[in-house]
Structure 1
Amino acid sequence: MFSIINPFDSTFLSEHQYITDSEVENTLKISKKSFDIWGFTPVNERLNFIKNLVFALTKKQHLLAKQCSLEMGKPITQALAEVKKCQILCEYYLNHAEKFLEKRQIEANGSESYVTYEPLGVILGVMPWNFPYWQVFRFAIPTIIAGNTVVVKHASNIAGCAILIEELFREAGFPDGIYTNLLISGSQVKAVIENPIVKAVSLTGSEKAGASVASIAANKIKKAVLELGGSNGLIVCEDADIDKTVEIAVNARFQNAGQSCIAAKRFFVHSSLFDAFIEKFTKAVSKLKAGNPLNEDTYVGPLARTDLAEDVEKQVNKSVEMGAKIVLGGKRTEAFYEPTILVNVTTDMPVFNEEVFGPAVPVLSFNTFEEAVELSNKSDFGLGVSVFTADVEALKEKINLFQEGAVFINAMVKSDPALPFGGVKRSGYGRELAEDGIKEFVNVKTVYIG
């Protein structure tokens, strides 16, 4: 048995029991049996269930948002926005999935050649707690529409959210086994990946978890998609609109209490703007309201667990010991960590060379664009970067300099159903969302007729 505790006030929420290995085996067999029918169901018929799911999401959006706020501390307005984003994703694939999956004709020497996209089978998703609905939907929806069935091992600390997701699919009328919540411990994941019923795995999580899952999958010659950590740079060029940039930068770092792989975690500001940026940014961050995540005016809630806040505290404190200066924040109370801004930061400090998964940000200055690129690339991660400048055309010629999965100009890095999402280096491999995402777990089958 394990308990779920509210990170805001440490109250008991619920108690759960992991299913047994024999129950896991039975669940996988049901999912495989469902795939044998679902995989041959026309795409337009699969999409009818997605339409029902959109209705269920709309109906249950407030219930879903509240459960998220209770279990991992996300402010209720942000939790509700996450649920609505899941609806947008469903609607995107309703409009585009048939075209993405249609047979593609190829010109070759024979009388006819074409490519078809066929589902692989049962796909395992290992999902994190920081976006308990969005992370699941962006994996599961395109995977299911492509004809696969999915089983999801969600993070234990948001087990209530995980149960609600499965109930949504059931309410939408999906046959049993198309989407299944797999309430298992981390130690049970290896056997699930190794099970011959499971054909591939997608993981969103830490480097350590990604390396473990990838090695297990590779040993069984199974495909894996990994969406891991990030330490995105946010570059403020000399000609940037500083007021607009500050406004975006606040959300880019402190939304969801900074608990996002694509949050802007390292700021680089041109030396001519540095003092003005720090003054304006500090003023804006100091106005953010922290408190009960169920209150609609709360912007910063607690971190999902106290130990996570302690990790951020250690990274900040160690950096201060090495010479960094705290401009704002720097204090922890249980799972709450104050929005924190640091200057006098060097590249050997934890707040620079580690992923800080919480509301703390180092701000460094640079003199040339080349220096900013070097600082941004000086990371083991490569998920994304934001660059703010008035000269967009000039910047477009330098996109190739960034070792990232995404470059956002005059905007914060975000995931969008229409845009491929994923990283390079230790941020993982493979892509989610858009056409690329729906084709990650398919057999790209070549047909040649002589």
Structure 2
Amino acid sequence: MTLTPKKPAPPLTLKAGTSWAAAWQRCLAAAPEAFRDDRVLNLWDARWHADGRVLPATSPVDGTPVAGPPRLDGDTARRAVRAALDQHRAWRHVPLAERRARVAATLDALVAHRDLLALLLVREIGKPWAAARADVDRAIDGVRWYADGIAPMLAGRTPLDGPVSNIASWNYPMSVLVHALLVQALAGNAVVAKTPTDGGVACLTLACALAAREGVPVTLVSGSGGELSEALLRAPEIGCVSFVGGRDTGAAVATAVADLGKRHILEQEGLNTWGVWECSDFAALAAALPKLFDYGKQRCTAYPRFVVQRTLFDAFLTVYLPAVRALRFGHPLAVEHPGDPFPALDFGPLINAAKAKELTDQVAHAVDRGAVPLHRGSLENARLLPGQDTSAYVPPVTLLGPPPSSPLHHAEPFGPVDTIVLVDTEAELLAAMNASNGALVATLSTDDRATFDRLAPQIRAFKTGHGVPRSRGDRDELFGGFGASWRGAFVGGDLLVGAVTQGPPGERLPGNFPGYRLMP
């Protein structure tokens, strides 16, 4: 019997209409006031300005040059904040019905440009198409929930004395940053936002252009954190600071706002952990594992650490290794034929080549000092275009026993790298799950509900799931953090509105403040 050799798969190609050039032309047509030639503009004093020094930028997807942030200097940023205060003083007196109408019109415009916003997210920050669409949809649906129900949330409350300043990381421009801006404006505040340094400037520019057209008082500027901090954090005009990012930058922000007694919401990173203790339901864990690699674990509620009872390690690996080996990753726009649907991927590239190198170096450092590689993926298994730039791509890696000297032992990797720690006692379990001095979420898989109820309060995470992952949440769900993962007011539901409005005299906001904490 003669076997016919299997034909090699044809090389992948770019999905039709998804080049950066095509996306840019759509931006120029959709919001010509905000995009000019090959650059984006800054929005302040209710006008678009061709100011700032434009920095070069490339797409993490394939190294294609994209629009860079037009970075302002400190003096111009201070002028922008002063202008935002003038907008705020007018907007805070606009009736709620009119604010709702303008925000609702903005949401309708976002829906009309949903696919373009999603494509910009793919190109600028490397999100797979499904994740990019979900980011846009969560922003729209979340703000609509607030628009429909905000009246009772505002009962007895008034806008702040100054605009809200927003500084957020690059990974969720729509569902975190744009969502926050529109809810803050709905509550009666003018809003100021700094574009993230690492990506998302075009997506945010388009979203803010659509809001500004409807008369929503939004300011959008680019610049370095060091140069703009005096204006965006310390300026007396600012009524509240909302920050989402890493602990190093967050610590500096926390110091600045605490010294001034300024209202603040500071969400920072933490090493979220998944514990496995006296557990037999590995089918549930197997179902959850692939979803944990969403967007390459570049999100604040990712689970990069598994703390496993030593006697269950073999059962854990039986479900874990097949899941990680089956992950689909690569170019988010690479298809067999130009007209094919977007590829179904678990993740694409990291945010940039520098982050990819940093993470690869951390893995090498950990292995050199004793960590055991249990799985190392390969770019040969990734869906990539022929000859494309792959410098921002990192295949999934799993290490057993990261040494205490490694950053992977105590810090969030923010990439597709898992670490596993084996423990023998409940005390070791809790110590390993609390390695980063506070986290946003955690999960404990254990059969006995009484064991979960006893151990969960000792895990220093704001939300702890019983065998299921937890997420940031919004709408009617409270969210915050423990330890170094959060500072200031908690958010979610009416707490998000409360954090950016004034209540009765002497009100104490729920959150992590010096000497005051509300437990979830």
Partner Cα distance (1:370, 1:46) in 2:
52
Greater Cα shift, 340-349 or 160-169: 340-349
Question: Per the alignment, do residues 361 and 16 of structure 1 end up closer, same or farther by CA in structure 2, a change over 3 Å counting?
Answer: closer
CA contact (8 A) 1:5 1:12 kept: yes
Q: What CA RMSD, in Å, does the superposition of the two structures yield over aligned residues?
A: 2.3
**Contact 2:74 2:228 survives alignment (8 Å):** no
Amino acid paired to 2:142: L
Provide, for residues 16-42 of structure 1, a one-character-per-residue CA deviation record: whole Å limited to 9, x for no partner: 432344543443233222211221233
- For the pair 1:135 / 2:135, whether they are aligned, the reply is no
Please say which of residues 343-352 and 380-389 is displaced more in the overlay. Answer: 343-352
**Equivalent position of 1:325 in the other structure:** 372
Matched, 1:412 2:412: no
The answer to which of 293-302 and 309-318 deviates more is: 293-302
**Shift, 1:330, TM fit:** 6.0
AA at the equivalent of 1:309: A
Distance apart, 1:186 and its partner CA: 2.0
2:459 to 383, 394, 402: 402
Q: Does 1:202 align with 2:205?
A: no
- Alignment of structure 1 residues 345-384 onto 2, 5 Å: 345-384=402-441
Give the corresponding residue for 1:432.
491
Task: State the identity %.
Answer: 24
Match of 1:85 among 98, 123, 138: 138
Q: Aligned to 2:185, which of 144, 151, 157?
A: 144
Shift of 1:240: 4.5
SS at match of 1:338: coil
Q: Contact 2:60/2:353 (CA < 8 Å) preserved in 1?
A: yes
Amino acid across the alignment from 2:363 = V
Contact 2:325 2:377 in 1 (8 A): no
**Cα–Cα, structure 1 residues 52 and 368, in superposed 2: closer, same or farther, change >3 Å?**
farther
Q: CA deviation at 1:189?
A: 2.0
Partner residue of 1:307?
354
Structure 2: distance between partners of 1:208 and 1:299? 29
CA contact (8 A) 1:126 1:153 kept: yes
Is the 1:39–1:121 contact (alpha carbons within 8 Å) kept by the matching residues of 2?
no
* TM-score computed with the length of structure 2 as normaliser: 0.78
Moved more, 337-346 or 363-372: 363-372
Of the three residues 13, 16, 19, the one matched with 2:72 is: 19
Instruction: Work out the CA distance in 2 between the residues paired with 1:7 and 1:101.
Output: 42
Matches of 2:451 and 2:370, distance apart in 1: 36
Q: 2:116 aligns with which of 46, 60, 63?
A: 63
Q: Which moved more, 1:385-394 or 1:144-153?
A: 385-394
Match of 1:216 in 2: 256
How far the C-alpha of 1:132 sits from its partner, in A, is 1.7
CA contact (8 A) 2:460 2:482 kept: yes
Where does the alignment leave 5 or more consecutive residues of structure 2 unmatched?
1-53, 334-341, 380-389, 507-520
Decide whether the 8 Å contact of 1:249 with 1:264 is kept in 2. no
* Ranges in structure 1 where 5+ consecutive residues have no aligned partner: 104-115
Q: Distance in 1 between matches of 2:184 and 2:350?
A: 30
Alpha-carbon distance in 1 for matches of 2:445, 2:167 = 34
CA gap 1:399/1:344 in 2 versus in 1, 3 angstroms: closer
**Stretch moving more, 295-304 or 211-220:** 211-220
Q: Which secondary structure state, in structure 2, belongs to the residue aligned with residue 30 of structure 1?
A: helix
The change in CA–CA distance for 1:344 and 1:30 in structure 2 (over 3 A counts) is closer
**Are 1:168 and 2:168 matched, yes or no?**
no
Paired AA for residue 357 in structure 1: F
**Contact 2:401–2:422, Cα closer than 8 Å, also in 1:** no
Report if the CA contact (8 A) 2:69-2:223 is conserved: no
Structure 1 equivalent of residue 501 of structure 2: 442
| TM-fit CA distance, 1:346 | 4.6
Seen in structure 2, the aligned counterparts of structure 1 residues 81 and 400 have a Cα distance that, compared at 3 Å, is same
Query: Higher relative contact order by CA 8 Å / sep ≥ 6: 1 or 2?
Result: 1
Instruction: Give the CA deviation at 1:347.
Output: 4.6
Out of 149-158 and 343-352, give the one that drifted further. 343-352
Provide closer, same or farther for how the CA distance between residues 276 and 442 of structure 1 changes in structure 2, counting only shifts above 3 A: same
Q: 1:446: Cα distance to partner?
A: 3.1
User: Shift of the alpha carbon at 1:117?
Assistant: 4.4
Residue 292 of structure 1: which of 331, 350, 353 is its match?
331
Residue 85 of structure 2 contacts residue 163 of structure 2 at CA under 8 Å; is this kept in 1?
A: yes
Does structure 1 retain, via aligned residues, the 8 Å contact 2:166–2:191? yes
- On the 8 A contact 1:150/1:180 being kept in 2, the answer is yes
2:85 to 26, 32, 45: 32
Residues 342-369 of structure 1 show CA distances to partners (whole Å, capped at 9, x for unaligned) of 1244555432212211100011223344
Q: TM-score, normalised by structure 1?
A: 0.89
CA deviations over 1:302-353 (Å, ceiling 9, x no partner): 1011111111112211111111111212668511111111124455543221
Q: Match of 2:313? A: 274
- The structure-2 alpha-carbon separation of the partners of 1:382 and 1:62, relative to structure 1 and needing over 3 Å to count, comes to same
- Whole-Å Cα distance in 1 between the matches of residues 185 and 69 of structure 2? 27
Of 202-211 and 328-337, deviating more is 328-337
Cα gap change, 1:100 to 1:397, in 2 (>3 Å) = farther
CA distance, structure 1, for counterparts of residue 149 and residue 281 of structure 2: 36
The offset of 1:96, in angstroms, is 2.9
Distance in 1, Cα, partners of 2:401 & 2:82: 57
Measure, in 2, the Cα distance between the counterparts of 1:41 and 1:393. 52
